Structure 1
Amino acid sequence: MCTNFAAVTGPVLRDVFGAEPPPGPWKPEIWPGDAAPIVRADARGRRQCLLATFGLVPRSRHVHGARDFETMNVRAEGVGDKRGSCSAWHRTQLCLVPAMAIYEPCYVAGQGWIRYRIWLPDEPALGIAGLWKQWPDGTYSFAMFTVSAPGHAVMKLMHAPGKEKRSVVMIPYLQWQAWLSCRDPELARSFMALYPAEKMMAVPAPLTPQPAEEAGAAGPGAPSR
């Protein structure tokens, strides 16, 4: 599960992803509920970039009492059956989530929880497989696909010991266009693979402590940053 990632800059969107950056600012580091750029294919197959909220069903749209209903990640195995994602999946509303790195918590014996930065040193950026949704008011939201990763040399170390291990789906650079242009849900499943561990880099990247006033402003239920 990934709920925190380093966003790309406008020049990276233009030069690496081949899409014009969207208007409006976004943060260098993205958390649930933040706006971030995503890349999709338009009706002609051209790459289009727009700002979307991280979380397929944004927290602002959660039904009262559904505070724990998180949709930043979509399990690839059951995406076609889940109420929050099935319509977007069957319409193949696929996207790439551009990122420079993802962040995951790793439990280190004797040290406790340490945030790790994970990236692909041989790729210009990460193109994470995503699913997008448009709302009646014209805004967009997105989620990242995840797959099971119990034997993955990097991702099996992340999150709590003994808990299920999962990884976001990182689409190789040469497959970006094929993913964006895919209009067959069953064919889209063929992209749901783990990225080779030997081609990934993971290093400690502890969080910088927040000023007290910022931490208070985040409100109850906000992620610890």
Structure 2
Amino acid sequence: MCSHYQTLKDAELLLQKFGVRTQSLSGKTDMWPRYQGVFIRQPVEHDAGDEAVPPREAVTGRWGLISATTPASGLDKAGKLSTFNARSETAAKSFTFGNAWRRAQHCIIAADAIFEPDWRTGVAIATRFTRSDGAPLGIAGLWDRWRDAAGQLQESFTMLTINADHDPLFSQYHQAGHEKRMVVMLPEGAYGDWLTASAGDTRDFLLPYPADKLLATPFKKNG
């Protein structure tokens, strides 16, 4: 489970690696659940046949998905749930994530790093995970949108996770006795395919990222 990441802040890298431009990279660098962050998706209008619609867009939304099927009476409760990660094994049948899964509303979260706790000393030590080649991470996610009390459409997203009990890297993190999880980090060559994949093909992308292509560094805040 990932509850903290550092968003990609380099607009040129966002264009180079993910093929999108945005004016929304001036917000928070450290992302926590319910913060507003940038995610990448196919535009909602991509099937309209309008050549002016780009193949991808960068959107700002809530990290913590709220389903479009959530009734107005349930929005307060939905907003308090921990929906920043979606278990890939159960997301398709989940009330919260099922609509986005069935509609193949795939997105990518561009990140400089993610964080997980290292409990091997008996004390949680925040550990920063990055790509060993210095390139940004492209994390597979789902997006959805809901109408707030004023009737305005609001965007949200979540990161997909898979079991990591046997992963050579992520199996070492989180508390002993608890299931080990990791977010799905896509290879760069899969970005376009992920965004256009059907719901039936979603699970083909839910694979562990090669451990030897990642760096895990104990993290200390400045000061």
Is TM-score (shorter-chain normalized) higher than 0.5? yes
Per-residue deviation, 1:63? 1.4
One-letter amino acid matched to 2:124: W
CA distance in 1, matches of 2:41, 2:135: 18
Q: 1:207 to 1:105 in 2, by over 3 A?
A: farther
Aligned partner of 1:74 in structure 2 is: 86
1:7 aligns with 2:32: no
Structure 1 gap segments, 5+ residues each: 210-225
Residue number among 137, 146, 150 corresponding to 2:165 in the alignment: 150
State the distance in 2 between where 1:185 and 1:123 align.
31
For 1:122, the equivalent position in structure 2 comes to 133
Paired residues of 1:130 and 1:144 also in contact (CA < 8 A):
yes
- Contact 1:132/1:140 (CA < 8 Å) preserved in 2? yes
Other structure's SS at 1:171 match:
coil
Q: By how many angstroms is 1:159 displaced?
A: 1.1
- Please list the CA deviations of residues 160-183 of structure 1 after superposition, one character each: whole Å capped at 9, or x if unmatched: 11100010000100110000111x
Letter of the structure 2 residue corresponding to residue 140 of structure 1:
E
Work out whether 1:94 is the aligned partner of 2:78.
no
Q: Which moved more, 1:38-47 or 1:153-162?
A: 38-47
Task: Tell me the residue number matched to 1:191.
Answer: 205
Structure 2 SS opposite 1:100: strand
Is 1:25 aligned to 2:34, yes or no? no
Number of residue pairs matched by the alignment: 204
Deviation of residue 74 (structure 1)? 0.3
Distance 1:54 1:208, change over 3 A: farther
User: More deviation in 101-110 or 89-98?
Assistant: 101-110
**In the alignment, which residue of structure 2 is the partner of 1:222?**
none
Paired position in structure 1 for 2:115: 103
For the 8 Å contact 2:6–2:111, the answer to whether it is kept is: yes
Q: Secondary structure at the match of 2:18?
A: coil
SS at match of 2:60: strand
Q: Which runs of 5+ in 2 are unaligned?
A: 48-53, 68-73
8 Å Cα contact 2:144/2:155 also seen in 1: yes
Computed over aligned residues only, the root mean square deviation of the Cα atoms, in angstroms, reads 2.1
CA distance, structure 2, for counterparts of residue 123 and residue 81 of structure 1: 36
The question of whether the paired residues in 2 share the 8 Å contact of 1:22 and 1:37 is answered with: no
2:51 aligned partner: none
Deviation string, structure 1 residues 115-149 (Cα, Å, up to 9, x no partner)? 00001123621110000011222221100000000
Give the TM-score, by structure 1 length: 0.84
Give the deviation of 1:24 after TM superposition.
Answer: 6.9
> Per-residue deviation at 1:82?
0.3
In the TM superposition, what is the alpha-carbon distance from 1:20 to its structure 2 partner?
1.1
